[in-house]
Structure 1
Amino acid sequence: MKIGIIGDGAIGRYVSQKLTEKALTPSVRLVRPARLKAAKDCKIPQVGHVGDLPGDISLMIDCAGHSALLEHGPSILKRGISLISVSLGALADKELEQRLTVTAKEGGAQLHLATGAIGALDCLQAARVGGLSSVTYVGRKPPKGWQGSKAEETLDLSNLEEPAVHFHGSARDAAMNYPKNANVAAAVAIAGIGFDETAVQLIADPSVTANIHEINAVGEFGQFHFRIEGKALPDNPKSSALAAMSVISSIERRNSLITI
């Protein structure tokens, strides 16, 4: 399998390192044309456009955020190259979701959304078959995990002394307004009852040190509550270590003869 990667941030570096350890070193990295010279010392060959990707690439991995999926996703899929992405929140944009669906069909490729920082999505997907009446996602992070987001418009994150809700609404609004923080909300929505019906609360909490994610779901199956306390990557408090790990897990499942 020849793999290409988009993004050289905290998640991209983690994924590259783990792939190298597993003898699956990426063959090429797709970067913005303006960064080609800055990245010329990188051991992985660099290209600036999807059209410049080698013809033998069979899988691309998007670790670069919503804008990268918007810019490159449709072209990659149309070329017949399957894509794994951590940018689940980008699909809150209905137009982009449609473009990705159409180009994947045209290219005979598949877009796989890595599960990211949350678990229990298999349970949620199964419960959807019988019918779900409500799904709520609550995301709780230390104040520094919300820096650079809309939370700063309503909260003094540097001096917060108690937990504070800074968003309450639908998963679609959360994903559109918190593109670097609400991919988990999008994952829950996609696995369950959709972006508009999934309720979301986002909380800045100075008493916690981990990123805490909770799902509450009720349906014909019964009800469940799931909670996970995840560590961020050392390089970026906004990037979940489990999100990066889920990319590697997705690749391993593609290569496995027996999978769960």
Structure 2
Amino acid sequence: MQSIALIGYGGTAQTVVQELTKAAGNAGPDIHVVVRPGKVEQYRNMVPPMVQVIDNLACLPENVGLVIETAGHSAVSMYGHQVLSSGRDFGLISSGALADETLLEQLRAAALESGKHLLVFNGAVAAIDAITSAKAAGLQSLCYTGIKPATAWEGTPAAEQFDLGSLTAPTVIFEGSAREVALAYPKNANVAATVALAGVGMENTSVRLIADPHATVNRHRLDGTSALGRFEFETEARPSASNPKTSSSTAFSILAYLRGGPNALRLT
């Protein structure tokens, strides 16, 4: 397994580090955690002894071939170009950041120039292979529906439009394109952006978000039509204990990829 660096040390990164160190101990890959400048000491005691904490990508050793963003949209724009230009692959979970077309093209250009890969981890979404196959044959339409507990939408525009604590039935809180939802709900709608990048693009992927007061899991539904026929997929993912806005499966999609699985969409 290659040596890696993780940008950020929230719930997703903590799970990745915990699983890697638990499985391999001191014999595992080199792991670095990248934090904001001046925050090294704050995080040093939070990581296992074999994990290095740095606040500057220039401190990464040459054997680190993959840098993984787990810190939100701003981290994609802050670090992505620098990572790729340094001759390393860049993987991300905050795919909604790529709704910014300028940023996406800059990262693609940097990846192509350096001969490296720009990767989007599958996260909580299944059936990326079905979407890409349908796209190759002629994908005609793609709709994503995200259903989460009402509390998962606190701190989003939905909280300003609805009394989330008083909902008694599933309520549609957003309808629009994947680009619109990625910009309006940056912490909640990365799944929509990922399926859009795999399929018909940000503008042509329709999205529906639902707050369900009775839900205990995050549900992700995909409906599509293509020259091959029609497909429909639905998955249920338990919310992360540290952040109900994301699914626990996000960390394990990274781990599966690191262990040789096809759990990432390659954009270059």
Question: Do these two structures clear the TM 0.5 threshold for a shared fold by scoring above it?
Answer: yes
Q: Give the distance between the partners of 2:166 and 2:137, measured in 1 at CA.
A: 46
Q: Give the distance between the partners of 1:167 and 1:250, measured in 2 at CA.
A: 32
SS in 2 for 1:194: coil
Match of 1:139 in 2: 146
Q: Give the distance between the partners of 1:176 and 1:34, measured in 2 at CA.
A: 29
Unaligned runs of 5+ in 1: 256-260
Amino acid aligned to 2:177: S
Q: Runs of 4 or more off by more than 6 Å in structure 1? A: none
Q: Aligned-pair distance for 1:147?
A: 1.3
Q: Give the distance between the partners of 1:237 and 1:46, measured in 2 at CA.
A: 26
CA-atom RMSD in angstroms: 1.5
Amino acid aligned to 1:40: R
> Which of the numbers 10, 31, 38 marks the counterpart of 1:34?
38
Q: Give the distance between the partners of 2:126 and 2:63, measured in 1 at CA.
A: 33
Q: Aligned-pair distance for 1:34?
A: 3.3
Unaligned runs of 5+ in 2: 263-268
Q: How does 1:51-200 map to 2 (within 5 A)?
A: 51-200=58-207
**8 Å CA contact 1:10, 1:239 repeated in 2:** no
CA deviations 1:142-174 (Å, max 9, x no partner) are 011111111112111122211111110000111
CA deviations 1:96-153 (Å, max 9, x no partner) are 1011111112222111110110101101110111112211100000011111111112
Match of 1:6 in 2: 7
Match of 2:265 in 1: none
Q: Give the distance between the partners of 2:3 and 2:237, measured in 1 at CA.
A: 31
Amino acid aligned to 1:154: Q
Amino acid aligned to 1:97: L
| 2:75 maps to 1:49 | no
**What number of residue pairs does the alignment pair up?**
255
Counterparts in 2 of 1:22 and 1:59: CA distance versus 1, 3 Å: farther
Amino acid aligned to 2:115: G
SS in 2 for 1:239: coil
Q: Aligned-pair distance for 1:22?
A: 3.1
Match of 2:242 in 1: 235
% identity of equivalent residues: 38
Q: Give the distance between the partners of 1:25 and 1:31, measured in 2 at CA.
A: 19
